């Protein structure tokens, strides 16, 4: 899952990026609002963590501009502004959640998982598809009640495909969600991860849609 972090505090931003990468996110980090706005003209993101006191374009103005232009990605405001008035402005301005500094990384991760669930139209914390079960919080996967060991990137790919079970996901969309700007992707990397998932879970579960991408078959409980 690809996340845009917009934070001008270098020490904090570096820590948040490192922590969220450990959670399996592909994190792109920018330090000013104008650069973040420009990023939306060329890239697609699944989540955004947004500071309010940004140089160039303040966080609230960036958020309002995004909403006016039809961007519906979940946005979590992360700021030192803890007054009720600021919270109200942030949420009424289009934010989906609001967390004040200082904060605990575990809480930030939990809030981001909740935003992801809502965007995918789920309420349950576990994702189930037939005999396959994925727990985003515990970072575990099981198939037919047996644990399945996955790397962080294999887990992230499976999570994304499960969130869109029954839908065709293009190669470009999958690669955008798995990699940030600082990672060079080789031409066959996605195929390698898909092959590993098929081998570890069920070969027929992920179908190749020739010339387009992949589809994870939707299965009944």
CA 198 to chain centre: 23
**Taking the CB of residue 156, how many other CB atoms lie within 10 A of it?**
22
The Cβ-side half-sphere exposure at 108, using a 13 Å CA radius, reads: 26
Helix (H, G, I), strand (E, B) or coil at 67: helix
Structural domains of the chain sorted by starting position, each given as residue range(s) with its CATH number in brackets: 2-120 (3.40.50.2300), 127-216 (1.10.10.10)
**Tally of helices (H runs) and strands (E runs) in the chain:** 8, 12
> pLDDT tens digits, the chain, 221 residues: what are they?
889 999 999 999 999 999 998 888 889 999 999 999 999 888 889 999 999 999 989 999 999 999 999 999 999 999 999 999 999 999 999 999 999 999 999 999 999 999 998 888 888 889 999 999 999 989 999 999 999 999 988 999 999 999 999 999 998 888 887 876 666 656 678 899 999 999 999 889 999 999 999 999 988 76
27 in Cβ contact with 183 (< 8 Å): no
pLDDT per residue as tens digits for the range 106-162:
999 999 999 998 888 888 889 999 999 999 989 999 999 999 999 988 999 999 999
Give the global pTM. Answer: 0.83
Cα 113 from Cα 151, distance rounded (Å): 19
């Amino acid at each position: 899952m690809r996340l845009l972090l917009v934070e001008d505090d270098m020490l904090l931003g570096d820590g948040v990026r490192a922590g969220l990468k450990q959670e399996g996110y592909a994190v792109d980090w920018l330090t000013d609002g104008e650069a973040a706005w420009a990023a939306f003209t060329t890239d697609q993101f699944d989540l955004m963590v947004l500071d309010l006191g940004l140089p160039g374009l303040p966080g609230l103005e960036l958020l309002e501009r995004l909403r006016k232009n039809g961007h519906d990605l979940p946005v979590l405001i992360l700021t030192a502004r803890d007054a009720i008035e600021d919270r109200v402005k942030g949420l009424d301005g289009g934010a989906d959640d609001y967390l004040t500094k200082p904060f605990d990384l575990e809480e930030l991760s939990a809030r981001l998982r909740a935003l992801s669930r809502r965007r995918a139209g789920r309420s349950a914390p576990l994702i189930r598809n037939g005999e396959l079960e994925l727990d985003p919080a515990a970072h575990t996967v099981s198939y037919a009640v047996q644990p399945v060991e996955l790397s962080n990137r294999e887990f992230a790919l499976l999570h994304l495909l499960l969130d869109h079970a029954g839908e065709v996901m293009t190669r470009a969309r999958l690669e955008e969600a798995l990699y940030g700007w600082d990672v060079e992707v080789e031409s066959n990397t996605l195929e390698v991860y898909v092959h590993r998932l098929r081998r570890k879970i069920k070969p027929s579960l992920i179908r190749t849609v020739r010339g387009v991408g992949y589809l994870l078959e939707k299965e009944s409980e």
